[in-house]
A and B are shown apart, each in its own frame.
Chain A
Amino acid sequence: MTQLSFRRVGALLLRHLYIMRGSWPRLLEMAYWPAVNMVVWGFTSQFFAGHSDWVAKAGGILIGAVLLWDVMFRGNLGVALSFMEEMWSRNLGHLSVSPLRPIELVAGLVAMSLIRTLIGVLPAMALAIPLYQYSIFELGPALITFWANLMVSGWAIGLAVSAMVLRFGLGVESLAWVMVFAVAPLAGIYYPIETLPVWLQPVAWALPPAHVFDGMRTLMQTGLFDWSRLLQAVGLNLLYVAAAAALFLRTHHVARQRGLLLNVGE
């Protein structure tokens, strides 16, 4: 059984926190895009509130959706960009001959993703309160379940992207943005899954975010928490994140067979 060392995971976190500490533009950028996104959708939401019963019935449904979407988006980027940072800085070789194990690398990446997402999304969530009189925190404990599920979905995509980058090199780094947006139309972020063509709906329901966003809308429109949606999201997430972690670890092994751990860089 592989032993996971929190000291070594902490060392990896420290490495990324040092980078953040030394670069305030990076910190600002992390919070900037979610805030801009929220502002745009806030005005859109205000407009639709006067023109659409569906939006008017549940104030903030679009703002809530965009804020939660950013959780998933930043969760993915948090893993993928933290991993690519090691490749951009040509540091993967040193890490790979240190006692850091691949599973600890994965743990460090997801922990870093959580930190980056909190830095990115919390300010936007707070800003929505004075700007639009909408507080996503009023969702209460449900917010934690939505956040956790979307975060894990983001991790699954981020780990899969990291595996691709390790296998095929930095030429495919744009996958960090491409893959998560491929999921977006099927996630039902701003509309019910029933809006999709009938043949596409089973594909959407096979994705955890579809259950999360549907559950969010149900809660905001009816005040009821849909436990079955939560359980399906959790089950699917466990499946996907386990598969993505296995893919990353397998790719790491293949990288050792092919000599890819040294031949990386900008």
Chain B
Amino acid sequence: MALSLIKPVRRANIQGMDAFAITVEHLVKSFGPIRAVDDVSFAVATGSTTAMLGGNGAGKTTTLSMLLGLLLPSSGAIRVLGEDMVRHRYRVLPRLNFSSPYVDLPHRLTVRENLTVYGHLYGIAKLAGRIAELTADLDLGEVIDRPVGKLSAGQKARVALAKAMLNRPELLLLDEPTASLDPDTADWVRSFLTEYQRQCGATILLASHNMTEVERMCDAVLMMKQGRIVDQGSPAALIERFGRSTLEEVFLDIARDRNKPAEAAQ
């Protein structure tokens, strides 16, 4: 996929940045007696694509929400793009973006109106030109002046990506980026993200249930269960460690508490 209009404007900045775009230390989030995230520590290398995997209730969305500053941690430290996310989130927010199928853009506004509003919120220079670039890159020409509420799931996913790309984010946080998409559209989205990451050197952290997607896109995987990180590594390393042939089998092993790495090694 050729994204000729996505300019790698941030590459120089990224090379001068920390080795890790995200560092999390002893992160805890409790809701009453329930520990949704339980003493989690990890780091995401700058320029990498990392996945958080885990079943429902594993703590992926809660962790993502804390990384975005939408949710305050009960304890622990989060640094995003070199800044303390709890104390200085407004220094970081213009440099990152987010997409989730569970958070909508206003349905009554057209695609162009939505992108215009968010473009102004992010302070995008030459906004009309930027919207034209994204319209071309994400093939939005036919729907650009249609209300978002009247689009198909696939079209909405492309619009959500356009919104997430408006500020050419150094860090992209994605919650289930291909949920509810048909295989063709899902494949298109993955190709787009991979190409963006390759061209711009951006860091991507995604939460997903799609193992094929993770194997294809990600350099690293954080396996979560019951609010904890129970394993991590590259997809290939995890598959080898568990003695399995696919990441999905590794996921099932972890979810069902069977065939732990030590046992697999025996």
Contacts and interface: CB of A to CB of B under 8 A. Distances in A.
A140 interface: no
B70 A89 contact: no
B93 A98 contact: yes
B3 interface: no
A201 to B, nearest CB: 45
| Range class of the A interface residue count | 20 to 34
B108 A23 contact: yes
A94 B71 contact: no
A257 B72 contact: yes
B90 interface: yes
A100 to B, nearest CB: 5
Interface string B48-81: 0000000000000110010011111000000000
A90 B110 CA distance: 16
A102 B125 CA distance: 23
B103 A93 contact: yes
Nearest to A101: B90
Nearest to B71: A259
A10 B117 CA distance: 9
Interface stretch (B94-102, B192-200, B219-227, B246-254): B94-102
A99 B54 CA distance: 30
Contact of B108 (A89, A96, A98): A89
A19 B106 contact: yes
Contacts of A19: 106, 108-109
B197 to A, nearest CB: 20
Contacts of A257: 71-72
A91 interface: yes
A22 B109 CA distance: 8
B113 interface: yes
A97 B68 contact: yes
Nearest to A98: B121
Contacts of B118: 11, 94, 98
Given A14-B117, A262-B103, A97 B93 contact: yes
A135 B260 CA distance: 82
Interface in A79-138: 85, 89-91, 93-101
Interface of A: 5, 7-8, 10-12, 14-15, 18-19, 22-23, 85, 89-91, 93-101, 253, 256-259, 261-262, 265
Shortest Cβ-Cβ A-B pairs, 6 listed: A11-B120, A93-B103, A90-B104, A89-B106, A15-B117, A98-B121
